[in-house]
A and B are shown apart, each in its own frame.
Chain A
Amino acid sequence: MTLSRRKFREALFDIQLAGPATLAMLVLIFVPAFFVGVLSFTDYLFGAATFNWVGFDNYLTLFGDETGRRAVINTLIYVAVVMPTSIVLSLAAAVGVHSVSGWSMGTANVLRTAYFMPVVATLVAMATVWQMLLHPSLGLVNQALGMINISGLQWLSDRGLVLYTLAGIGVWETVGYNMVLFMAGLVAIPKHLYDAAKIDGANHGWERFWIVTWPMLGPTTLFVLVVTATKSFRVFETVATLTNGGPGFSSDVLVFAMYREGFVYFKAGYSGAITMVFFFFVLALTLTQLRIVEKKVHYR
């Protein structure tokens, strides 16, 4: 009797702790997401009194229509560039800064702060800085290139280039955060494993990297992968401030299309369909990564 009452009290306490957040998540995320899902099968316009069921029409438009397909493909290209580049660069930076901290903590802290700057800076404000840097004639980038006799590029208005320019900014934006994550992973690697590797014949830094560092960073890498993937799927600020998806939809991406269709053209149904596709991409990517990689990174 007393036991079950105690259990009940404990359960009540658990609910008190987890309840509010769970409730907020249900009300603010799951319920709206469900309605967005429902909307995506309608031709509902914001403010309209009625709507019609249109089945999969919105989805067919997104994948069949040239503009819609562009947004999907651009997003995938953007993720495919930003994710690996950011991870390789941030890992290299983390290993570098970590070994600098071995002989000079001060220098390492300065470097860490410098790398972390883009993470804390407001991206919209930073985008303005990028716009100035990348200005075809006045921008610092093209002027610097001019000094070594390379003709400048139309970074933000060349249809073939603009997406990669944005990807470059995306890398710049995520490297610092990923580096901090990797550095936390590096600190957690037991020193004695490096000692053992040295004794076992790993004379070169690279050998020790492959024997100890890389495998031991497995869980961190998985986390960084998931975080970077979702972050780059969500690319929006740079597109909205620098290119507006242009020129000619050549830098249009899913979230920007979602915003444009929903909040500029008020096409709630179509925008909902984009949201669902976006959601599905992120979910699929995250699940695959967790499924495939998780087994290989936690050595049990």
Chain B
Amino acid sequence: MIQIDKLGKFFNKNEVLKDVSLTMPEGSFTALLGPSGCGKSTTLRIIAGLEQPTTGLVKINNRNVTELTAAERNIAMVFQSYALYPHMTVQENIILPLSMRSMTRLQRMPILDRLLPSARAQAAKNVAKANEIAEMLEISALLDRKPSELSGGQMQRVAVGRALVRDPVAFLLDEPLSNLDAKLRTQMRSEIVDLHKRTGRTFVYVTHDQDEAMSMSDRIAVFMHGKIVQVATPRELFSNPATREVAAFVGDRPINMIELDAEGSNLPSPFDGFAIDGKKIPQRIVLGIRPETLEVNKNGTIPAFLERIEYLGSEAMVTFKLDGNITLRVAIDASDELPQPGERINLALKHSAAHLFDVETGNRLNAKLVSRTQPSAVKA
């Protein structure tokens, strides 16, 4: 189990982390998700011991490790750039963390390591272990190569092998897939999930790709501007984003954000077919509507003018213009006959409806949208 408690971090006078607390239970797969510069990588580096927090604590298995070096924490880390030692072969790269731990400085000396029987015995053990790991990762054929002779995917595997070889208490992965091409990325994704299952260790995974975070992890901590804004399961994150920014960040397709003036529970046209069900509704609100939650429906209460249509194969992205100069993007099933630009169409909210946020704070409102005319269509 890894706990971070009220972490704060300044680089010179720049505050990059503010009061970050998070618990990563034993064996969990936690993703730290956020745009670049949000502090997620700094948090990971603080957990690793590569960076010292200005304030706050890091605990691993209930032991305060804030003052310990990276090596003393016995965590493994996979870097975005793989960070393989270019002058060592694949085998030497994988062995290094083992020999740094299992052999004394004397035993590691260039010539003595061949002469001392104890060093040779330990070295043989390390080689066996490295070969075993290489076999597991299917890189046995590459053991004698230098990193420069490997492809991105192969380097990635070697980096994983180096992390795996000494049985660490936790794996920290810093955007490990972002240097791979799209196809390989999908494949490595499932391999890393497999690895997590097989080792049963705690995984902390930093990414800016919400797709990766959603598909791989069992918990996601979303970072914005140096703070954690939400910790939730992928499903919860998607269905109940805590802030406007989170809603905008999560999800395949960009969410529609519409700022409106509400009067009590009433909404202005073209959303006057809906009412807000909730207390303490501020005057300015943001309606967050995912493109896939809208459908073309002649009974719908949102009149719209079809402006543009982008055909994407299985679906089409349709841009509608609404009264009050509102633009709304809707994903529709492309297997049916598609409407044409210039048509006037009615739209309906399909399911789970819209998210409501306060314009001022960006926070989620404890309220939902209900339909006045078609109560069956909206189930918030």
Contact = CB atoms under 8 A, between A and B. Distances in A.
Interface of A: 190, 192-193, 195-196, 198-203, 207, 211-212, 215-216, 218, 299-300
A201 B83 contact: no
A196 B77 contact: yes
Contacts of A218: 87
A299 B83 contact: no
Given A200-B97, A201-B71, A215-B85, A195 B50 contact: yes
A216 B86 contact: yes
A195 B83 contact: yes
B70 A198 contact: yes
User: 9 closest A-B pairs (Cβ-Cβ)?
Assistant: A201-B100, A196-B83, A200-B97, A215-B87, A192-B83, A201-B71, A198-B70, A299-B86, A299-B87
A200 B48 CA distance: 11
Interface string B277-308: 00000000000000000000000000000000
A285 B250 CA distance: 62
Interface residues of B, number: 29
B85 A195 contact: no
A44 B96 CA distance: 64
11 contacts: A195-B77, A199-B48, A199-B50, A200-B96, A200-B100, A201-B96, A201-B101, A216-B86, A216-B87, A299-B86, A300-B149
Q: Name which of A192, A202, A211 has the most chain B CB atoms within 10 A of its CB.
A: A192
Contacts of A212: 85
A207 B100 contact: yes
Interface of B: 45, 48-50, 69-72, 75-77, 79-81, 83-87, 96-97, 100-101, 105, 146-149, 162
A200 B71 contact: yes
A119 B136 CA distance: 55
Nearest to A212: B85
Given A195-B77, A196-B79, A218-B87, A203 B71 contact: yes
A199 B96 CA distance: 11
Given A201-B71, A215-B87, A300 B148 contact: yes
By secondary structure, the A interface counts as helix
A212 B86 CA distance: 9
Contact of B162 (A200, A203, A207, A211): A200
Nearest to B100: A201
Contacts of B75: 199
A212 B93 CA distance: 12
Contact of B69 (A190, A192, A198, A300): A198
Q: Name which of A190, A192, A199 has the most chain B CB atoms within 10 A of its CB.
A: A199
Contacts of A196: 77, 79, 83-85, 162
B148 A198 contact: no
A239 to B, nearest CB: 39
A207 B109 CA distance: 11
